[in-house]
Amino acid sequence: MKITVVGVGSMGGAIIKGLASSSADEVSGLNPTNPRVSRLADYLHFKLFTTASEVVEYQPDVVILTTPANITVAVAKELDGLQPNTIIISAAAGVRQYELKAVLPNNPVVTIIPNTPVAVNAGTIGLALSADVTGATRDNIIYVLNQLGDIITVSEDQLDIVGVIGGCGPAFIDIFMDAMSDAAVKHGLDRQTAYQLIASMVKGTGALAYDTEKSPSALRDEVTSPAGTTIKGVEVLEKHGFRFSVIDAVNKANGED
Ligand SMILES: NC(=O)C1=CN([C@@H]2O[C@H](COP(=O)(O)OP(=O)(O)OC[C@H]3O[C@@H](n4cnc5c(N)ncnc54)[C@H](O)[C@@H]3O)[C@@H](O)[C@H]2O)C=CC1
Ligand SMILES: O=C(O)[C@@H]1CCC=N1
C-alpha cells in the first residue's frame, strides 16, 4: 500500500518510523524543504515530496495528515485531485471530519489521535470512523493503524478527551519520569541508570495493568504493604494534591478555562 504522511514533524516522523519497520508498504512523506526532514528521509529511506501537487500525482492509497492543526484543512484542500478511493486519516487535534469533507468531498475521511510511542509500534491511537467508511476501506485503515499500536475506536465527539489522555498523556508521564530521575540522582544513582530503571518500571506498570485489566487502585494496593515504604510516599503525593494536578491538567488540555 502507498502511504503518504503529510507533515513530517514530531508526530508525522513518529508515524513514519513506526511504518518503516514494515516492508509491505511504500511509505512517503510531504514536508516543505527542511534539512531535518531530508536527513530523516535519507536515514529511513522514504520518498520525500515537497509540494502537494507531487503527492496528487503520486496517487497514494492512504494519506495521513500530521500538519499543524490550524493549517490542516488548507493543506487538505491542496490535495484536491487525489483519486476518490484515497483514504484520508487526519491526526490533527480538534479538526473535525466535516471540515475535511468540505474540501475533499470524494474521499473517505477518518480522524485519529495517535501518540508518540507509535514510533516504536507501541502507540495508542484513538480512532473515530465515519458512516461512509465500511468494508475494505475500513479494513485498510485498521491494517495501517494496527502496525502502529493499539486502536481505541470511539465516536468523533469522544476523540478530544481520548486525545488528551492518549496523545498528551506521554508528556505528563515524561514529566513524572523526569522528576523521578532527579530524585534517584539525589539518592546516588547515575542519570543513565536512573533513566533505564524508570523507563522499565513504567513499561512494566503499564503492561501489568494492560494484561491483568485490574483497576489502578487495586494494583496500587498490591504495592502498598502495611506500615511499608510505599504508603509513606503515597501520603506525600496526596498531601501535595498529585491527583488534583493530574485531573486539572487533563481539564485544561481538554479546553476547560
Ligand atoms: N506531537 C504529538 O504527540 C501529537 C500531535 N498530533 C497532531 O499532529 C499534528 C502535528 O503536530 P506535531 O508533529 O507535534 O507538530 P510539528 O510542528 O512537529 O510538525 C508539523 C510538521 O508539518 C510541517 N508542515 C507545515 N506546513 C506544511 C504543509 N503545508 N505541508 C506539509 N507539511 C507542512 C512542518 O514543517 C512540520 O514538520 C498536529 O495537528 C497535532 O494536533 C496529534 C497527536 C499527538
Ligand atoms: O499538544 C498537542 O496539541 C498535540 C495533540 C495531542 C498531543 N500533542
Pocket flag, ligand 2, residue 11 (CB < 6 Å): no
Residue 22 has pLDDT above 80, yes or no: no
Residues flanking ligand 1, CB < 6 Å: 6-12, 30-32, 34, 66-69, 71-72, 75, 91-93, 113-116, 167
| Domain shared by 16 and 108, yes or no | yes
> Which amino acid would we find at residue 177?
M
- pLDDT tens, 133-159? 999 999 999 999 999 999 999 999 999
Task: Report the pLDDT value the prediction gives residue 148, as an integer from 0 to 100.
Answer: 97
| Domain shared by 132 and 167, yes or no | no
Domain stops at, among 107, 131, 153: 153
Task: Check if the beta carbon of residue 8 is closer than 8 Å to that of residue 29.
Answer: yes
Q: Tell me the CATH number at 181.
A: 1.10.3730.10
Which whole number is the average pLDDT over 198-218? Answer: 98
Least confident of 17-31, 88-102, 140-154: 17-31
Which whole number is the average pLDDT over 69-83? Answer: 97
Ranges of beta strands (E only) in the chain are 2-6, 26-30, 47-49, 62-65, 87-90, 109-113, 123-128, 149-153
Domain stops at, among 106, 121, 153: 153
| Domain shared by 169 and 241, yes or no | yes
b or e along 130-147 (b: 16 or more beta carbons within 10 Å of the residue's beta carbon)? beebeeebeebbeebbeb
Task: Report the pLDDT value the prediction gives residue 215, as an integer from 0 to 100.
Answer: 98
CA of 168 to the centre of ligand 2 (A): 6
CA–CA distance, 204 with 212 (Å, rounded to integer): 12
**Structural domain containing residue 59:** 2-153
CA of 182 to the centre of ligand 1 (A): 31
Domain stops at, among 153, 179, 210: 153
Pocket flag, ligand 2, residue 166 (CB < 6 Å): no
Residue nearest to atom 39 of ligand 1 (CA): 92
Pocket flag, ligand 2, residue 163 (CB < 6 Å): yes
The ipTM estimated for the assembled molecules is: 0.98
pTM (two decimals): 0.97
Task: Report the pLDDT value the prediction gives residue 52, as an integer from 0 to 100.
Answer: 98
Kindly give the number of the ligand 2 atom that is closest to the alpha carbon of 11.
8
- The more confident residue out of 22 and 167 is 167
C-alpha cell at 169: 498523556
| Domain shared by 211 and 105, yes or no | no
- Please, what is the average pLDDT of the chain? 97
21 confidence band (pLDDT: 50, 70, 90): confident
| Domain shared by 169 and 91, yes or no | no
71 confidence band (pLDDT: 50, 70, 90): very high
Residue 206 has pLDDT above 80, yes or no: yes
C-alpha cell at 90: 487526519
| Domain shared by 59 and 166, yes or no | no
- pLDDT tens, 27-52? 999 999 999 999 999 999 999 999 99
CA of 70 to the centre of ligand 2 (A): 12
CA of 214 to the centre of ligand 1 (A): 35
Ligand 2 pocket mutation pick from 95, 125, 168 by most atoms within 8 angstroms of CB? 168
> DSSP assignment, residue 175?
H
Q: Taking each helix axis from N to C terminus, what angle separates 10-20 and 35-44, rounded to the nearest 10 degrees?
A: 10
Task: Check if the beta carbon of residue 126 is closer than 8 Å to that of residue 148.
Answer: no
Torsion of CA 65, 71, 73, 77, to 10 degrees: -90
85 confidence band (pLDDT: 50, 70, 90): very high
| Domain shared by 141 and 20, yes or no | yes
Task: Check if the beta carbon of residue 110 is closer than 8 Å to that of residue 88.
Answer: yes
CA of 246 to the centre of ligand 2 (A): 16
Which whole number is the average pLDDT over 65-91? Answer: 97
Task: Report the pLDDT value the prediction gives residue 24, as an integer from 0 to 100.
Answer: 84
Give the chain's domain count.
2
Q: Tell me the CATH number at 6.
A: 3.40.50.720
